[in-house]
């Protein structure tokens, strides 16, 4: 879609000045001179000319009685139209170089000029002294009447280079558009039309005009070799065609349901609404050879004329990049100028998200500021992607007009940042470690570290020293990779907590907190923290960031915060770990390979995976949860959401609570694939689906069901496809996949009071 830079043309003195209340721009020549008309409340009309700077001059032929209609202007600057003299006689006129020539056809009482062809032929209509309305062609004084022999009135509104004439006739059946090819008249009847009129004809002979229906709706039409195409604004019952060019471009306006008018352009069947910014009504009356549109519009201050000059166009598409990928800026965008003036300057604005950079001659430019570039400088400009999506804005100038901003996005993988892993988790008071032996660095994209940051607490912890000098406490201490060999850590006690993180040149990685073998307490913050516990009985408190917490071999307690948390236990056969998941949806907890683990889901859904000998998993009041018991014996207690529970190989107990619950006694297979001896308790208000029901191993426990015997179970059952369904009450049921009334037995059901 072409974008336009608009300039306003106002009635001299402004709207209402000297009584003027109407203005239209009806043509623009090759130099940019606009012509049109203004009208006042008394019904007087005057022509106007308007320079590109907006200065407006009234124009009337010398004999005009304040009734002048400027119809248009040729590309070379000749004004044409008609006027009424003081004797109430209507004349055509041409104005060129300050000289006005009156055009009166022989034996004509009135003469109206509708247009001038590229070859200089005048066409229009006249009223004969003793007869009706006739069309005409005038080639430098050689006059030809154009009359449909069956019509009482003929007007000519268009002539193409091949001599095809179009216009409007009135005959006994009404008013119709027509075309005349080699002297043969053909009246046009668009489907559903009550009347029609032609506006013009293309170089290839397509007739364009408007038609009205019996219900007073109006639409545009294109006629081509016997076929009609209707042109209508979206949802509109009033569309007016103002102009058609040799190339088939059509301009006009249409009414919305609200009554407001929108301008439009139609090229090759592609209909585009074009409105002057801030306008309540826009009428496009024509397009000149340079593609400049013109017409009039209304806003809160009244009516104005306008010219829309097509500005430069910038084209850019969204790009997917790898991390740190470099592009020539010229490969990401292109600019063109429909006027042929060429591009003289660009402005590029980069948000710089995720460390993305624009470089000119290899020098990084500041982000979030307008960067002005000549075409030569653009060729020396590169773009380097950062982490995640980055938005770039571009506009271009041809020296006089700017394009609108074009926005595109470069999407790179999100750089989660480098990870610092503390490798030595056992220390004693006064013990000194070289930093290079204490922690190691890794990066998801293989980027080297550009900076490290370490933190010294004021009390109760050891300290980092650089060249033997303690670094300040309670502040960020930046260390370069070159200084890392000079960095050491002096332990205070076994309860020390080490804080360290790294930067890969794009983003900072999460803080790593690491403890020794004492009973440590860790507090995650608002960042994405990584917490490494030692082998004591440790307590973790998640913060508002997305935290990852690794326990040791002791009895650990994990308490999630408001951010998404990943809690990983490393318990032994004698340890007991508690996992209280965070309130963020999707938080995850992994039990250790042995010992006993207790999981409590967060309120918005959690993933809980047990690997210990015994697992106890509890869903919260809300949220959808995923439970996996692993090889141990597990007990699952769901909440009110949709819960998925997978027992795997242990002796597992399932109680999904209310809501819809899906049970797998085994590893997640279909009917008969259960592994352990599993019990499925059916709670009041729960819809429980046992996906791998295994006859002879699994048991359904019914408490408070009101059932007294296996006969009650069967009397409340039905078959639904592969599922044997026991409908306990309207809100409670159990579905057994692969079972039927013939395969289940009384021993499959444990009925309690």
Residues 103 and 243 in one domain: yes
How far from chain centre, in Å, is Cα 45? 48
Residues 406 and 448 in one domain: no
Q: Show the tokens assigned to 339.
A: 């006027």
Q: What is the CATH number of the domain that holds 153?
A: 2.120.10.30
- Output DSSP code: residue 482: G
Residue 270 falls within a domain, yes or no? no
Task: Out of 508, 525, 559, pick the residue that ends a domain.
Answer: 508
Q: How far apart are CA 209 and CA 193, in angstroms?
A: 12
**Residue pair 312/268 in contact by the 8 Å Cβ criterion:** no
Task: Out of 370, 394, 411, pick the residue that ends a domain.
Answer: 411
**Residue pair 314/335 in contact by the 8 Å Cβ criterion:** yes
Residue 112 falls within a domain, yes or no? yes
What is the tens place of the pLDDT at every residue in 312-343? Answer: 989 999 999 998 899 999 999 999 988 778 99
Half-sphere exposure of 48 (CA within 13 A, CB side): 25
> Along the chain (753 residues), what's the average pLDDT of each consecutive run of 10 residues?
83 66 93 92 88 83 92 96 94 95 91 95 91 91 91 96 97 95 95 97 97 97 96 96 96 96 94 95 96 95 91 92 94 89 94 90 94 97 93 93 90 88 70 87 91 77 87 89 92 72 87 67 60 64 64 69 60 66 69 76 79 79 80 85 85 90 83 83 91 92 92 95 94 94 95 84
Pairing of strands 439-442, 419-422: antiparallel
Residue 109 falls within a domain, yes or no? yes
Residues 391 and 437 in one domain: no
Q: Show the tokens assigned to 271.
A: 């209909």
Instruction: Count up the domains in the chain and report the number.
Output: 3
Residues 428 and 339 in one domain: no
Q: What is the pLDDT of residue 331?
A: 96
Residues 364 and 382 in one domain: yes
Give SS3 for 329.
helix
Tell me how far apart the terminal alpha carbons of the chain are, to the nearest angstrom: 74
Residues 392 and 439 in one domain: no
Residue 289 falls within a domain, yes or no? no
Residues 73 and 174 in one domain: yes
Full residue range of the structural domain in which residue 337 is found: 313-411
CA-based nearest residue to 676, from 684, 687, 664: 664
Residues 402 and 441 in one domain: no
CA-based nearest residue to 81, from 89, 90, 73, 93: 93
Residues 406 and 432 in one domain: no
Residue 435 falls within a domain, yes or no? yes
Task: Out of 367, 390, 411, pick the residue that ends a domain.
Answer: 411
Residue 535 falls within a domain, yes or no? no
CA-based nearest residue to 581, from 620, 624, 622, 635: 620
Q: What is the pLDDT of residue 590?
A: 73
Ramachandran class of 43: left when φ > 0, alpha when ψ lies in -120 to 50, beta otherwise: left
The set of residues, in sequence order, having a beta carbon less than 8 Å from that of 55 and lying 6+ positions away, is none
Residue 742 falls within a domain, yes or no? no
Q: What is the CATH number of the domain that holds 436?
A: 2.60.120
Q: What is the pLDDT of residue 493?
A: 64
Q: What is the pLDDT of residue 438?
A: 85
Residue 734 falls within a domain, yes or no? no
Residues 146 and 159 in one domain: yes
Please list, residue by residue across 68-98, b when 16 or more beta carbons sit within 10 angstroms of its beta carbon and e when fewer do.
Answer: bbbbbbbeeebbbbbbbeeeeebbbbbbeee
Pairing of strands 439-442, 345-350: unpaired
Q: What is the CATH number of the domain that holds 374?
A: 2.60.40.10
Residues 120 and 201 in one domain: yes
Question: The whole model's pTM is what?
Answer: 0.55
CA-based nearest residue to 713, from 686, 670, 737, 682: 682
Residues 174 and 72 in one domain: yes
The set of residues, in sequence order, having a beta carbon less than 8 Å from that of 661 and lying 6+ positions away, is 638, 642, 643, 644, 645, 654, 686, 687, 688, 689
């Amino acid at each position: 879609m072409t974008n336009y830079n608009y300039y306003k043309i106002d009635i001299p003195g402004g709207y209402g000045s000297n009584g003027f209340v109407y203005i239209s721009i009806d043509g623009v020549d090759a130099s940019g001179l606009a012509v049109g008309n203004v009208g006042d409340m008394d019904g007087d009309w005057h022509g106007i000319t308007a320079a590109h700077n907006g200065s407006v001059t009234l124009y009337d032929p010398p004999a005009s009685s304040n009734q002048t209609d400027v119809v248009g202007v040729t590309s070379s600057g000749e004004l044409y139209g008609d006027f009424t003299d003081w004797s109430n006689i209507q004349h055509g006129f041409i104005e060129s170089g300050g000289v006005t020539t009156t055009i009166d056809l022989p034996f004509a009482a009135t003469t109206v000029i509708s247009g001038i062809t590229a070859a200089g032929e005048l066409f229009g209509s006249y009223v004969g002294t003793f007869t009706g309305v006739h069309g005409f062609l005038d080639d430098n004084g050689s006059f030809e009447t154009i009359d449909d022999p069956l019509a009482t009135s003929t007007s000519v509104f268009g002539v193409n280079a091949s001599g095809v004439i179009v216009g409007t006739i009135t005959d006994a059946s009404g008013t119709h558009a027509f075309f005349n090819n080699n002297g043969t008249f053909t009246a046009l009847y668009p489907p559903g039309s009550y009347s029609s009129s032609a506006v013009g004809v293309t170089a290839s002979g397509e007739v364009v005009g408007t038609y009205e229906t019996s219900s007073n709706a109006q639409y545009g039409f294109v006629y081509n070799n016997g076929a009609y195409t209707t042109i209508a604004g979206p949802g509109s019952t009033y569309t007016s065609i103002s102009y058609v060019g040799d190339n088939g471009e059509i301009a006009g306006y249409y009414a919305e349901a609200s009554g407001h008018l929108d301008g439009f352009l139609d090229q090759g069947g592609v209909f585009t609404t074009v409105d002057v910014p801030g306008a309540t009504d826009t009428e496009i009356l024509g397009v000149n050879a340079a593609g400049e549109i013109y017409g009039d519009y209304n806003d809160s201050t009244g009516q104005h004329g306008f010219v829309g000059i097509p500005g430069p166009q910038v084209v850019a598409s969204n790009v997917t990049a790898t991390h740190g990928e470099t592009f020539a800026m010229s490969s990401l965008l292109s600019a063109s100028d429909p006027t042929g003036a060429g591009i003289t300057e660009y402005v590029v604005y980069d948000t710089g998200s995720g460390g993305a950079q624009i470089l000119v001659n290899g020098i990084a430019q500041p982000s979030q500021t307008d960067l002005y570039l000549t075409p030569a400088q653009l060729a020396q400009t590169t773009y380097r992607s950062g982490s995640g999506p980055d938005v770039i804005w571009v506009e271009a100038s041809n020296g006089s007009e700017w394009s609108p901003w074009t926005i595109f996005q470069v999407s790179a993988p999100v750089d989660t940042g480098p990870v610092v892993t503390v490798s030595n988790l056992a220390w004693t008071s006064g013990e000194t470690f070289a930093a290079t032996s204490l922690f190691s660095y890794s990066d998801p994209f293989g980027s080297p570290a550009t900076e490290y940051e370490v933190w010294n607490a004021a009390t109760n912890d050891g300290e980092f020293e650089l060249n033997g000098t303690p670094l300040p406490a309670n502040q960020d201490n930046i260390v370069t990779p070159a200084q890392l060999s000079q960095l050491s850590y002096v332990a205070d006690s076994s309860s020390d907590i080490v804080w360290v993180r790294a930067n890969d040149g794009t983003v900072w990685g999460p803080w790593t907190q690491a403890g020794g073998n004492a009973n440590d307490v860790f507090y995650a913050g608002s960042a994405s923290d990584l917490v490494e516990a030692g082998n004591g009985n440790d307590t973790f408190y998640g913060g508002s960031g997305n935290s990852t917490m690794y326990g040791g071999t002791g009895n650990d307690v994990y308490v999630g915060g408001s951010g998404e948390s990943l809690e990983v236990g490393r318990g032994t056969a004698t340890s007991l770990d508690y996992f209280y998941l965070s309130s963020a949806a999707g938080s995850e907890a992994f039990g250790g390979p042995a010992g006993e683990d207790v999981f409590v889901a967060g309120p918005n859904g959690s993933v809980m995976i047990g690997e210990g000998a015994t697992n106890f998993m509890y869903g919260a009041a809300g949220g959808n949860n995923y439970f996996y018991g692993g090889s141990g014996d597990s007990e699952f207690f769901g909440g009110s959401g949709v819960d998925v529970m997978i027992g795997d190989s242990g002796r597992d107990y399932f109680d999904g609570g209310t809501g819809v619950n899906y049970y797998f006694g085994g590893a997640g297979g279909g009917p008969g694939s259960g592994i352990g001896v599993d019990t499925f308790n059916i709670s009041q208000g729960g819809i429980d689906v046992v996906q791998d029901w295994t006859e002879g191993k699994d048991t359904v426990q019914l408490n408070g069901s009101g059932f007294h015997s296996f006969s009650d179970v069967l009397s409340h059952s039905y078959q639904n496809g592969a599922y044997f369904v026991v409908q306990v009450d309207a809100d409670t049921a159990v579905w057994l996949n692969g079972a039927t009334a013939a395969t289940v037995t009384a021993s499959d059901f444990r009925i309690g009071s």
